[in-house]
Structure 1
């Protein structure tokens, strides 16, 4: 087959269907991630340095979210459980991290209850509004508080992305959480190196 005669779109489709891991991760070089100073689910100050050497899943949401955030957190937790069984060496190198975009309501205690519902090693992070705004900027996360209802409640519109970051805090790939736990676990396995 003469590949020079195939249309570029067909070549791209063939490449997309390949199971081979590309040499460079899809998000290599993207300006996603950076230093942060937040509070963990136990009320302790924590920085990005606490995760040095560990792959991490960075997911941004909020605990009062009626549907998207619990579904995505559940998928991440289920993917980690799959890896616990099938590839414990991979699982041991990954820390799932939930960062709230609603720090006014998501206290450490509230975040702790949320993350523990999905996976025991899920780390929950909150902080001041300024600290959360800073980390949202670093990770390119959109979040906007909606109108307050008469009972004082509100929704937060936000982007729904789970980033897999390497041990140096560099972005690797967006995890396909919308495709379910197995697809998410497979993508984690594709990029996490256990021989380093």
Structure 2
């Protein structure tokens, strides 16, 4: 028998421990090392190192061993070293039936929420790219129509409005302006276009506010004086501004706006006649630069959208005081 066992036997004979302590010592003598296996990880063992038999001889030689049986047994039961598991995460429960496997894999990598998010994202991206494409197209049109040094369309002029007041090209600055050339004795085309101008003005004002000046410049100054223009334009819209002047002044304005017009030669006083002229609405920006020409192929809704989009693209101020309020 080893020396440690002899020492332990002698100590037990001398001290005569209680029967409970004997049972505990017999259990420790039979199973000196215990291995606990984790229920979650079969390959990982938690080993508890118990007190070696050689240490029992020293513990049993101390005094008052009989009085401290319970404390001694409890200290012998406590493990001195515990190994730490590799992970604290709870393992996934195994699927037991084929129905559970099918239910788990039924949706695949996508589900209803992912599909809705994908559709919304794609729709938003498409709308943004479409808006940017249209905005860049409008910007390209506006930049191409501006001249270098001298504007391609538009320029300075000095005329008289339907109230008899002086009106120059400087009065167009600060707001967008929609300029149309016509005359009051036109039988059909001018009335149709002025009705369209009134609708365009109301639609743009509804969307963007009072930032548009509707202007009609006569191509027939011999018959369209301020009083005639004022009475004629009241039939279409009270905000439309009529401009007239001397024949040479009108001719110069038509030239800078690239407008063609002609009156028949040898017209007698009081004789009725028609004036041939270009039929376009000229959109000018708040700096007096030409933006875009709107022809007869545009409806009032289409033309109002074009004008409103250009106004929304404008980054400068629109703070001119409304003279005709």
Query: Shorter-chain TM-score category?
Result: 0.7 to 0.9
Alpha-carbon distance, 1:151 to partner: 6.1
Q: Once superposed, which parts of structure 1, at least 4 consecutive aligned residues long, lie more than 6 Å away?
A: none
CA separation in 2, counterparts of 1:175 and 1:129? 26
Alpha-carbon distance, 1:25 to partner: 2.4
Residues matched between the structures, number: 176
Of residues 248, 270, 274 in structure 2, which corresponds to 1:130? 248
Alignment pair present for 1:80 and 2:166: no
Query: CA 1:101–1:150 in 2, change beyond 3 Å: closer, same or farther?
Result: closer
Of residues 8, 13, 20 in structure 1, which corresponds to 2:134? 20
Q: Deviations over 1:38-94 (max 9, x none)?
A: 000001111111121111001001110011111111101111122333x142xx111
Between 1 and 2, higher relative CO (CA 8 Å, sep ≥ 6) is seen in 1
Q: Larger strand proportion, structure 1 or 2? A: 1
Of residues 272, 287, 307 in structure 2, which corresponds to 1:153? 272
Q: Deviations over 1:88-146 (max 9, x none)?
A: 42xx1110110000000000011112222222211110000011011011101110113
TM-score (normalizing by structure 2)? 0.51
Q: Larger helix proportion, structure 1 or 2? A: 2
CA-based RMSD: 2.1
Alignment pair present for 1:117 and 2:235: yes
Q: Return 5+ residue gaps in structure 2 as ranges.
A: 1-131, 317-325
Alpha-carbon distance, 1:178 to partner: 3.4
CA separation in 2, counterparts of 1:19 and 1:149? 55
Name which one, 1 or 2, has greater alpha-carbon Rg.
2
Alpha-carbon distance, 1:150 to partner: 9.7
Q: Return 5+ residue gaps in structure 1 as ranges.
A: 1-17
TM-score (normalizing by structure 1)? 0.82
Contact 1:166 1:172 in 2 (8 A): yes
